[in-house]
């Protein structure tokens, strides 16, 4: 997403210069940038009309106070407060004595995960079908090995886009150690609670010393949730 970073003024001056030099040399990237500029320019013309109905902060209320507005204060009467407080204590006690210890025990136990290897778009891979369930989530093994001759980045950034194309999660991890064969893999675990059926995308970026993100590869998978 170099064109977007360029338009959002997110590139350091040196990186910006390098990007421009590349764009002048690469018709494909030039087209990408020009499309983005054309979209933004036209959007700037249209956005005023399309945001007219945007909610604005409400002005200070000058309406007359209602005649009867204290009905809700009835909840503060001891007849309601005391039982509610007792119920609250009961819930808190149950959580502290039963639920949380169980969760701590589970978290401290080793877990076995069956990971799914994914190959990136750059390596010619298409969307991989993956079946998962909400209890176990899904563990993805991403091959982020650089092309031969290219130095690995000190760290990598990951964007997980959900089936609606919205950014569901983003994170940065230091470069994993290379295997004997020189390959680098990193595992991404997505908890089951946040999963939904559909096509996901994992976009991987190399993070340079200046913090700039360079798109490296994309990994696609079609997730099918097992019915519970």
**Could you say whether residue 212 binds another protein (CB under 8 A)?**
no
For residues 42 and 135, which CB has a smaller minimum distance to another protein in the complex?
42
Of 12, 14, 35, 90, the residue at the interface with another protein (CB under 8 A) is: 35
* Cα 52 to Cα 142: distance, rounded to the nearest angstrom: 44
- Does 113 contact another protein by CB under 8 A? no
Question: How far is CA 4 from each of CA 10, 144, 213, 214, rounded to the nearest angstrom?
Answer: 8, 23, 11, 12
Distance CA 222, CA 198 (A): 5
Among 93, 101, 154, 165, binds another protein (CB under 8 A): 165
Q: Mind giving me the DSSP string for 15-35?
A: HHHHHHHHHHH-HHHHHHHHH
- Residue closer to another protein by CB (options 56, 61) is 56
Residue 180 interacts with another protein (CB under 8 A): yes or no: no
Going by C-beta distance under 8 Å and a sequence separation of 6 or more, which residues neighbour residue 137? 189, 190, 191, 192, 193, 195
Contact 210, 115 (CB under 8 A): no
All residues at 6 or more sequence positions from 209 whose CB lies less than 8 Å from its CB, including other chains: 154
Question: By the 8 A CB rule, do 168 and 161 touch?
Answer: yes
For the chain, the straight-line distance linking the first and the last C-alpha, in angstroms and rounded, comes to 38
Give the position of tokens 């933004």: 40
What is the phi/psi pair of residue 142, to 5°? -100, 125
Give the x/- contact pattern for another protein in 44-73, rule: CB under 8 A.
xxxxx-xx-xxx------------------
Asked if 9 is part of the footprint of another protein (rule: CB under 8 A), the reply reads: yes
Which residue in 30, 122, 127, 130 binds another protein (CB under 8 A)?
30
Query: What's the CA gap between 225 and 163, in Å, rounded?
Result: 13
Stretch that binds another protein, among 90-98, 120-128, 137-145, 158-166 (CB under 8 A): 158-166
Q: Near another protein by CB under 8 A, which window of 25-33, 67-75, 139-147, 191-199?
A: 25-33
Tell the smallest beta-carbon distance from residue 32 to another protein (Å): 7
Is 77 one of the binding residues for another protein (CB under 8 A)?
no
Region binding another protein by CB under 8 A among candidate stretches 17-25, 70-78, 82-90, 118-126: 17-25
Nearer to another protein, 139 or 168 (CB): 168
Contacting positions for another protein (CB under 8 A): 1, 3-5, 7-10, 17, 20-21, 23-28, 30-48, 50-51, 53-55, 159, 161, 165-167, 170
């Amino acid at each position: 997403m170099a064109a977007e970073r360029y338009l959002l003024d997110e590139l350091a001056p040196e990186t910006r210069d390098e990007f421009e030099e590349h764009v002048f040399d690469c018709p494909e990237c030039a087209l990408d940038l020009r499309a983005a500029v054309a979209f933004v320019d036209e959007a700037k013309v249209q956005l005023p009309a399309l945001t007219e109905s945007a909610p604005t902060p409400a002005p200070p209320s000058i309406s007359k106070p209602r005649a009867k507005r204290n009905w809700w204060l009835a909840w503060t009467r001891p007849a309601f407060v005391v039982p509610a407080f007792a119920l609250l204590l009961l819930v808190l006690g149950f959580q502290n004595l039963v639920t949380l210890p169980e969760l701590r025990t589970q978290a401290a136990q080793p877990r076995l995960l069956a990971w799914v290897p994914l190959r990136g778009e750059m390596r010619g891979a298409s969307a991989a079908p993956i079946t998962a369930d909400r209890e176990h989530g899904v563990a993805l093994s991403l091959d982020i090995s650089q092309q031969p001759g290219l130095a690995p980045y000190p760290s990598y950034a990951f964007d997980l886009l959900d089936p609606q194309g919205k950014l569901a999660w983003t994170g940065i991890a230091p470069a994993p150690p290379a295997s004997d064969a020189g390959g680098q893999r990193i595992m991404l675990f997505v908890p089951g609670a946040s999963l939904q059926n559909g096509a996901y995308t994992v976009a991987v970026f190399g993070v340079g010393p200046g913090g700039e993100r360079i798109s490296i590869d994309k990994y696609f998978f079609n997730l099918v949730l097992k019915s519970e």
